[in-house]
């Protein structure tokens, strides 16, 4: 057993080293850099709580926070509801269900930047296929990415399209873990399909729902690639999220101290939301 443990540790060692160097180390360093005034070139100066005070008086931060929360509101509910409904549908004995399952996961495996480029073509004001068909039925064109009214919604739509299949696969795995005997017993007791769904399926899927919500929170609050490729935070600040603002502050304006504080704020927001969803779902019950 000891030798097996050593072999397992040996296999885990490369990942552990990568994690320490590229994840844990920079995260810990970011906490300290948040107390510094540093522009990469030259020595860092201790700034105390100045960067943290600046955060509360920075109007652009509050705009980016509002956009981040709005983006979360536009993506989280559909990513939970539609992925669950798709999983329930594809858990039935339907023709071509394996093909549909495979196709639905393809958007998730595409590189986010590639997804952004593809949808830039689809959304194009002059040559995009979406506006082409909207014009045919008299509803277009719509300035999907160049209008402050539509830009954030347009990117949210792309994010839902990208992650829907992945969440569906998670729900599908949870559904297949529920014993068919429970549904048979409910049927004998006279329960309808809707009652079985509400009383058996949803409660049994609670751990999966918690995991899906947590992953969706992490993926949407930290969204970067697609926004960077599609609008780069514009037009104006219509799609400027906290991570976009962090990138611009730390790596374009070279204000690493304040950029680190923005990163800490993102982490705090994530922890708060994960704690809220954990309490709402009452996973300990």
Residue 108: how many CB atoms within 10 A of its CB? 17
CA distance 164 to 75: 10
Residue 197, C-beta contacts closer than 8 angstroms, at least 6 positions apart: 88
**Closest by CA position to 87, among listed 163, 165, 171, 164:** 171
CA distance 274 to 214: 6
* Fold exhibited by the domain 59-281: MetI-like fold (1.10.3720)
CA distance 159 to 75: 7
Residue 252: how many CB atoms within 10 A of its CB? 9
CA distance 261 to 182: 50
pLDDT of residue 1: 58
pLDDT of residue 283: 60
Predicted confidence pLDDT, tens digits, the chain (285 residues): 567 778 888 888 999 999 999 888 988 888 899 999 988 887 888 988 999 999 999 999 999 999 999 999 999 999 999 999 999 999 888 888 888 888 888 888 888 888 889 999 999 988 889 999 998 888 878 899 999 999 999 999 999 999 999 999 999 999 999 998 999 999 898 888 899 999 999 999 999 999 999 999 998 898 898 899 999 988 999 999 999 999 999 999 999 999 999 999 999 999 999 999 888 887 655
Domain layout of the chain by residue ranges: 59-281
CA distance 4 to 270: 37
Residue 188, C-beta contacts closer than 8 angstroms, at least 6 positions apart: none
Residue 202, C-beta contacts closer than 8 angstroms, at least 6 positions apart: 209
Per-residue buried b or exposed e for 179-197, using 16+ beta carbons within 10 Å of the residue's own CB: eeeebeebeeeebeeeebb
CA distance 95 to 100: 9
Detail the DSSP E strand segments found in 23-118: 36-37, 45-46
pLDDT of residue 284: 58
């Amino acid at each position: 057993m000891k030798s097996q443990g050593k072999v397992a540790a040996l296999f885990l060692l490369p990942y552990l080293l990568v994690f320490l160097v590229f994840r844990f180390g920079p995260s810990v360093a970011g906490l300290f850099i948040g107390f510094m005034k540093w522009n990469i070139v030259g020595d860092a100066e201790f700034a105390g709580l100045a960067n943290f005070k600046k955060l509360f008086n920075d109007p652009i931060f509050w705009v980016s926070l509002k956009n981040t929360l709005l983006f979360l509101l536009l993506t989280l509910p559909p990513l939970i509801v539609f992925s669950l409904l798709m999983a329930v549908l594809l858990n039935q004995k339907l023709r071509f269900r394996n093909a549909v399952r495979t196709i639905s996961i393809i958007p998730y495996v595409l590189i986010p930047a590639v997804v952004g480029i593809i949808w830039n073509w689809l959304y194009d004001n002059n040559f995009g296929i979406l506006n082409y068909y909207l014009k045919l039925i008299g509803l277009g064109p719509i300035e999907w990415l160049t209008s402050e009214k539509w830009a954030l919604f347009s990117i949210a739509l792309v994010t839902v399209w990208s992650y829907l299949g992945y969440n569906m696969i998670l729900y599908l795995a949870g559904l297949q873990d529920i014993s068919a005997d429970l549904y048979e017993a409910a049927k004998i007791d006279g329960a309808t399909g809707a009652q079985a769904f509400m009383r058996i399926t949803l409660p049994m899927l609670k751990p999966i729902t918690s995991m899906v919500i947590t992953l969706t929170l992490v993926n949407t609050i930290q969204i970067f690639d697609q926004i960077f490729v599609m609008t780069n935070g514009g037009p104006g600040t219509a799609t400027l999220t906290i991570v976009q603002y962090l990138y611009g502050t730390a790596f374009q304006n070279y204000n690493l101290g304040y950029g680190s504080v923005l990163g800490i704020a993102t982490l705090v927001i994530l922890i708060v939301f994960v704690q809220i969803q954990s309490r709402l779902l009452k996973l300990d019950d």
